[in-house]
Chains A and B, each alone.
Chain A
Amino acid sequence: SQTIHQWPATLVQPVGSPLSLECTVEGTSNPNLYWYRQAAGRGLQLLFYSVGIGQISSEVPQNLSASRPQDRQFILSSKKLLLSDSGFYLCAWSLRTGGVGDTGELFFGEGSRLTVL
């Protein structure tokens, strides 16, 4: 079965410090990978998605970046955090086959809560 893990679960960082959130998927190959953020009082905002190694699409201009060094690894980074980067970050994967029983579901990791002070 497929599993997705992201870490760390909780992070408190000072303004201007770097960030690295990591996400790995097991039990599948060539997944679509996503980073979402939910800020307080707002919906889920797509930050980045990737359809393959080294292929990253950015949806929102910001001081964050993403990388996919391996097929099932997705990393969210920042060189210098801002206060506005605080939020709940979610990694997710999907594998659209289009076959019978395919619900089109997006599978989420446990989430990482980032507080920038």
Chain B
Amino acid sequence: DQQVKQNSPSLSVQEGRISILNCDYTNSMFDYFLWYKKYPAEGPTFLISISSIKDKNEDGRFTVFLNKSAKHLSLHIVPSQPGDSAVYFCAASSWDGQNFVFGPGTRLSVLP
């Protein structure tokens, strides 16, 4: 049973437009939610996170929104750039880090 779901395996967006990546989770005990970006044959790179006490966190072009009642979070990238093309993983964690779960990932392609 997947605790973290990313229902879109792939997404294509035009350069300059907004990319919206979605993530749903089932375990209400999660306290942190994170987004990672991954290129082939490399380790994931941390992008942005949000704790369960917030509903929005912004860092440059990246914004994460958290809707706890719906158990849903999303990552917005504005404006999208070709270098953003990668696989994006949503992850959720308990406060002590002992339960750190990743979603299956969404492959984002930003078209020039």
**A contacts, CB < 8 Å to B:** 32, 34, 36, 42-46, 49, 51, 57, 88, 90, 92, 94-96, 98, 103-111, 113
Interface of A is mostly: strand
Residue of B36, B96, B97, B100 near A46 (CB, 8 A) is: B100
Q: Is the CB of A104 within 8 A of B93?
A: yes
Contact assessment for A94 and B43 in the assembled complex, using a CB-CB cutoff below 8 Å: no
Which of B14-22, B67-75, B78-86, B102-110 forms contacts with chain A? B102-110
Q: How many pairs of A and B residues are in contact by the CB < 8 Å rule?
A: 69
Q: Which residues of B contact A111 (CB under 8 A)?
A: 41-43
Cα(A42)–Cα(B103), bound, Å: 10
Q: How many Å lie between the Cα of A44 and that of B38 in the bound state?
A: 10
Chain B 39-64 interface residues, beta-carbon cutoff 8 Å to A: 41-44, 46, 49, 51
**How many residues of B are counted as interface, with CB atoms below 8 angstroms from the partner's CB atoms?**
25
For the complex, what is the distance from the CA of A46 to the CA of B36, rounded to whole Å?
Answer: 15
Whether the pair B46, A105 counts as a contact (CB closer than 8 A) is: yes
A contact residues around B31 at 8 Å (CB): 104
Please indicate the chain B residues that have their CB under 8 angstroms from the CB of A43 in the complex: 6, 89, 102-105
* A36 closest partner in B (C-beta): B102
B97 engages A96 (CB within 8 Å): yes
Say yes or no: B41 contacts A113, CB within 8 Å. Answer: yes
Q: Measured between alpha carbons, how far is A94 from B98 in the docked complex, in Å?
A: 9
Cβ-defined contact, B46 with A34, below 8 A: no
- In the complex, the answer to whether A95 meets B97 with C-beta atoms within 8 Å is yes
Chain A residues in 8 Å Cβ range of B6: 43
Q: Which residues of A contact B41 (CB under 8 A)?
A: 88, 111, 113
B residues within 8 A CB of A107? Answer: 46
Whose C-beta in chain A lies nearest to the C-beta of B2? A43
Q: Considering the complex of A and B, which 10 residue pairs feature the smallest CB-CB distances, nearest first? A: A104-B32, A43-B104, A108-B43, A94-B97, A44-B102, A96-B97, A32-B97, A103-B49, A43-B105, A105-B46
Q: Is the CB of A32 within 8 A of B34?
A: no
Chain A residues near B97 (CB-CB < 8 A) = 32, 94-96, 104, 106
